Amino acid sequence: MKKGCRYNCVPTTSTTTGCLCACLSGCSQPLLELVQQAPWISWPKISWLLFVFFSSDIEISRAQSPKAVDVLAKEIGLLTDEIEIYGQTKAKVRLSLLERLKDQPDGKYVLVAGITPTPLGEGKSTVTIGLVQALTAHLNINSFACLRQPSQGPTFGVKGGAAGGGYAQVIPMEEFNLHLTGDIHAITAANNLLAAAIDARILHENTQSDKSLYNRLVPVVNGVRGFSAIQLARLRRLGISKTDPETLTEEEISKFVRLDIDPSTITWQRVVDTNDRFLRKITVGQANTEKGLVRQAQFDIAVASEIMAILALTTSLQDMKERLGKMVVANDKKGEPVTAEDLGVTGALAVLMKDAIKPTLMQTLEGTPVFVHAGPFANIAHGNSSVLADKIALKLVGEKGFVVTEAGFGADIGMEKFFNIKCRASGLVPSVVVLVATVRALKMHGGGPNVTAGAPLKKEYTEENLQLVADGCCNLQKQIQITQLFGVPVVVALNVFKTDSPAEVDLVCKIAKESGAFDAVPCNHWSAGGRGAVKLAQAVEKAANQKNSFKYLYNLELPIVEKIRIIAQKVYGAQDVELSPIAQSQVDRYTRQGFGNLPICMAKTHLSLSHQPERKGVPTGFILPISDVRASIGAGFIYPLVGTMSTMPGLPTRPCFYDIDLDPITEQVKGLF
């Protein structure tokens, strides 16, 4: 076994009696088998290199030459003018395709979710990639994986890359993990332009008379004075139908020029795509030029921006622009919401986001297509990739094809939001849920010792322990039940590690099936690529033909607190919820402002079904504390904070970047994993 090969090379399924690691022992058969012709794939030159000493994720990624993205695009039926190529291996896909294929029936829609994970993650991304590799490269069925773009913060902090792993990866993984096609940078730019506009506006309103503000906001240009389009829209919202700037009364001018933002109500924060813990709480405006208008603020990680959520949920350019304009950034001194549109910045935000709205096409290690688009975290945001990528992919795969999309963290977190928020925005109906489990995580839920990133695993996790597995299956059972609340068939994918014993694997599959799963299948995609997920693919295909009675968990018309309670009780298993006075007053405010009918996006730890990360298994009898409630009006959800949730990760003592390097001669990236 080589460095970096963490999983079982001789797994329980006889079709995968070797993995590429086998080349160490001289067996090249698995390599040849692996390189099977897929319906979309024409590899004139398969360039698997010899892995003798190394097989870290990035080395595996690099050893496979990706096909040119224009070739891939052609294979999957995209027209030349429907793609915008970014280098050799990435392309943005134009939304015009949705219009061209509007009469084409959608493919099957598969969601990959998980049980409550350890801090190491249980391999949902590798399952997603392994599954599409199996479907397309091994079963000749069209498929598409739709993934989230990873944040660069964790990439250079503690997590490393997020392109999958082993022989189930998106390649080139360094392109996937770095700037990609700039979408998160565009979000950062748009988010921070709005933030700068808020504070600058407060400053200018504080230091100028109505008349002076009016003269500056509506200046005479080439002898003519006129309102801009966005100013005319504001006048209409204020009930002023005049269009000639010279005819406004003093009172109308005052209403028009003063947003009168109450600085204590600003909810719009600045963002960076860096793990910068010192920006968690800051004071801004301390230079003399800002005239003493200091206030406390914070930076969030860029993927926590509401603009990221909008990117993930929008259905068109028109829809995105409307959502951007509706974003509420603060209240005025009368308690009314102030929006991006009020600040005059909607058009500029849309311009900054005009390319980000197009999904990015990449490929798996086995040459099958992948969309990478949007990347909200699942604990502090809704944790799903974009509606647009899924919609386009569903058209491209055709009626018999499969689109596999992924929801962050456990099913209680990412999946619940997938159904109640994303499916509501898209109108799409999922066919199957794949629930990813590992023996490691189940042992933790069964009472095993703490699992910590960076520390070696305790022996409970490396030796057979059927009791721990059996006890921990309660979490799997609960997550299956949560899935069933939504009426969609569930297939359990057991992501097999080399330390898992056959008896442990069998036990998990048995309990999963007894708990209501349509099927439960061990998977070995990490070590064997798509071949290691063929059984999973077959199970998913069968499940997709099952009766499907998909339903949302709650009606939007219910009061905000009632919707929170339904999620807390039915999904998390809480006895009840308890709102802090701040949370309650925010609920009252949003209800009064007319935002009560939005779905709920819980910000909760992903490490437990409850709000307490240390409570594993299936906690019961707890009261879920709601410390605050916020609203993302543009994205379209109410966003309760469960306990304390950090929106800015930090750098550890030894960040990942210690191992990351660039060879200046070969231009190869080292140390991403």
Per the listing, tokens 């064997």 go with 528
In this complex, which beta carbon is closest to a second copy, that of residue 234 or of residue 382?
234
In this complex, which beta carbon is closest to a second copy, that of residue 26 or of residue 664?
664
Taking the C-alpha atoms of residue 377 and residue 655, their distance in angstroms, rounded to an integer, is 20
Task: Please report how close the Cβ of residue 507 comes to a second copy at its closest, in angstroms.
Answer: 28
In this complex, which beta carbon is closest to a second copy, that of residue 321 or of residue 563?
321
- Identified catalytic residue from 67, 124, 323, 422: 124
DSSP string over 144-213 = EEEEPPPPHHHHHTTS---SEETTEEEESHHHHHTTTTSHHHHHHHHHHHHHHHHHHHHHHHHHS-HHHH
H or E, element range at 55: none
Taking the C-alpha atoms of residue 504 and residue 12, their distance in angstroms, rounded to an integer, is 11
Peptide bond into 172 cis (omega under 30): yes
Task: Please report how close the Cβ of residue 447 comes to a second copy at its closest, in angstroms.
Answer: 26
Active site residue 418: no
Task: Please report how close the Cβ of residue 284 comes to a second copy at its closest, in angstroms.
Answer: 4
Active site residue 148: yes
Active site residue 378: yes
Task: Please report how close the Cβ of residue 348 comes to a second copy at its closest, in angstroms.
Answer: 4
Task: Give CA angle at 457 (453, 461), nearest 5°.
Answer: 125
- Identified catalytic residue from 409, 419, 595, 622: 409
In this complex, which beta carbon is closest to a second copy, that of residue 246 or of residue 557?
246
Task: Please report how close the Cβ of residue 451 comes to a second copy at its closest, in angstroms.
Answer: 16
In this complex, which beta carbon is closest to a second copy, that of residue 21 or of residue 561?
21
DSSP string over 65-94 = PPPPHHHHHHHTT--GGGEEEETTTEEEE-
H or E, element range at 462: helix 459-462
Residue 378 and residue 116 in contact, taking contact as beta carbons nearer than 8 Å:
no
Helix (H, G, I), strand (E, B) or coil at 487: coil
Taking the C-alpha atoms of residue 448 and residue 465, their distance in angstroms, rounded to an integer, is 10
Angle, to 10 degrees, between the axis of helix 210-217 and the axis of helix 250-257?
70
Active site residue 159: yes
Active site residue 100: no
Active site residue 124: yes
Active site residue 289: no
In this complex, which beta carbon is closest to a second copy, that of residue 233 or of residue 485?
233
- Identified catalytic residue from 159, 321, 323, 326: 159
Taking the C-alpha atoms of residue 508 and residue 204, their distance in angstroms, rounded to an integer, is 63
Residue 362 and residue 176 in contact, taking contact as beta carbons nearer than 8 Å:
yes
Active site residue 547: no
- Identified catalytic residue from 62, 67, 94, 148: 148
Taking the C-alpha atoms of residue 195 and residue 201, their distance in angstroms, rounded to an integer, is 10
In this complex, which beta carbon is closest to a second copy, that of residue 10 or of residue 660?
660
Residues with a catalytic annotation lie at 124, 126, 148, 159, 378, 409, 497, 526
